[in-house]
Amino acid sequence: MDNQKQFKVLIAPNSFKECADSVEITEFIKASLFRLLPEEIKSKIDFLLKPISDGGDGFLQVCQRNFGVEFLHFEISNSFNEDKFFCPVGYFQETKTLYVESAEVLGLKLIPDEFRKPLSLSSSGMGDLLLQIFDSVNAGIMDVEKIVIGIGGTGTNDLGMGMMDVFGLEFYDAKDNKLEVLPKNFSLVEKIVVPEVELPFKIELIIDVENPLLGIDGSSLLFAEQKGATDEESVLMEKGFIHLLDELEVDEETQTKLSGAGGGIAAAMKIFFNASEKFADQFIREDLKVHAEVSGLDYVITGEGKLDSQTFLNKGAFIVVNEFAEKNIPITFLCGSSEGDLPKIETLRVIEIGEYFDSVEESIQKIDQGIEIACRKISKEIIQLFAKKNSK
């Protein structure tokens, strides 16, 4: 046994949206494999636990695990009425950096089903948060040089106008009537009062998908439906976005370069706050250090809630797949369900946890049990690969 070679397994899943964050999924996988693998093999396995985030759900938990941030809480407004709630942010005092997860501010998971009507939802909560941080820094209560915002998992699609409403942005129609700063009114806007805001810190955005703001792959036409919009409402929001950008005198070339992430809030931060952008693949490789240079890997486990066309827009779990696919390393992709044609990658195997249950709701409620069943297959494969490696 002493002559057996070490076997290295990377566990790097993304969050399963509205189910469990990536840190929880990682722990479920590890715990299941520890129960299922024989002791003599388990003692020779080096498990690398690297829960990932592409900026969406679970971003803060990943930042806590990787950077050791402490949690602070700010009281902000929710996106569907005047009620307030406490939103967590991560603070790393050494680097004077705050970490914000937009899914904890404007997340779809925070919006009850009956309120998932993007035409009437506002990103004002993000404005509340930034304004409170702004005031705290200026008052000397906090020392913040940079805010890193994970953009993803949002339930709003308002081009970040609700955020700017908090800073003083105003809409007026053709008769000079003041309008609510909501997507349902965007096409009626004939005058915009734009506030001048100079933040005392830099903003860096972690973008979960590389999609444009406008067009068939944009914020409204591609993503608004999953937030509760009908096809007609998605088209209305697309037209409203175009109209507002024209009113704001954003030239056509700039419009084509704006990100559609977070229901357009990333675009607003670029326009109004000159925010910098870092795509999820860069964040995962450089900041979280999940990259092909990790030496001696024998097996990779990744995944996310749903494997579909959006996954292939270089979202978190598929970044991991692409990173290791060419290294001829076996990769298992766990998901609740998959949709459409899967990519033809020889080393990739997909396991749909939803197949073990009678409904989506049951698979969500029993995600730990689903992962346990999936890990029975994974453990058998690891045993075979371990034996093959040690037979050489």
Output the pLDDT for position 1.
47
What gap in Å lies between CA 141 and CA 385, rounded to an integer?
55
Output the pLDDT for position 228.
97
What gap in Å lies between CA 154 and CA 261, rounded to an integer?
9
Q: Residue 344 pLDDT > 90, yes or no?
A: no
Q: Residue 93 pLDDT > 90, yes or no?
A: yes
Q: At what angle do helices 59-67 and 22-36 cross, to 10 degrees?
A: 70
Edge-first strand order for the sheet with 170-172 is: 178-179, 170-172, 191-193
Output the pLDDT for position 6.
87
Q: What percent of the chain has pLDDT over 90?
A: 79
Q: What percent of the chain has pLDDT over 70?
A: 97
φ, ψ dihedrals at 7, nearest 5°: -120, 125
Round the average pLDDT of the chain to a whole number and report it: 93
Output the pLDDT for position 72.
97
Mean pLDDT in residue range 62-87: 94
Q: Residue 137 pLDDT > 90, yes or no?
A: yes
Window from 97-106, 125-134, 200-209 with minimum mean pLDDT: 200-209
Q: Residue 153 pLDDT > 60, yes or no?
A: yes
Output the pLDDT for position 309.
65
Structure confidence at residue 311 as a pLDDT band (50, 70, 90): low
Output the pLDDT for position 310.
63
Output the pLDDT for position 345.
85
Domains of the chain: 7-51+320-390 (no CATH), 59-281 (3.90.1510.10)
The tens digit of pLDDT for each residue in 259-283 reads: 999 999 999 999 999 999 998 889 9
Window from 62-76, 169-183, 206-220 with minimum mean pLDDT: 206-220
What gap in Å lies between CA 321 and CA 247, rounded to an integer?
42
Please choose, from the candidates 25, 27, 23, 98, the residue with its C-alpha nearest in 3D space to the C-alpha of residue 62: 23
Mean pLDDT in residue range 197-211: 91
What gap in Å lies between CA 122 and CA 181, rounded to an integer?
8
Mean pLDDT in residue range 14-40: 93
E strand map for the chain? 7-11, 45-49, 70-77, 84-92, 97-101, 146-151, 170-172, 178-179, 191-193, 202-207, 276-279, 299-307, 331-338, 348-352
Output the pLDDT for position 312.
63
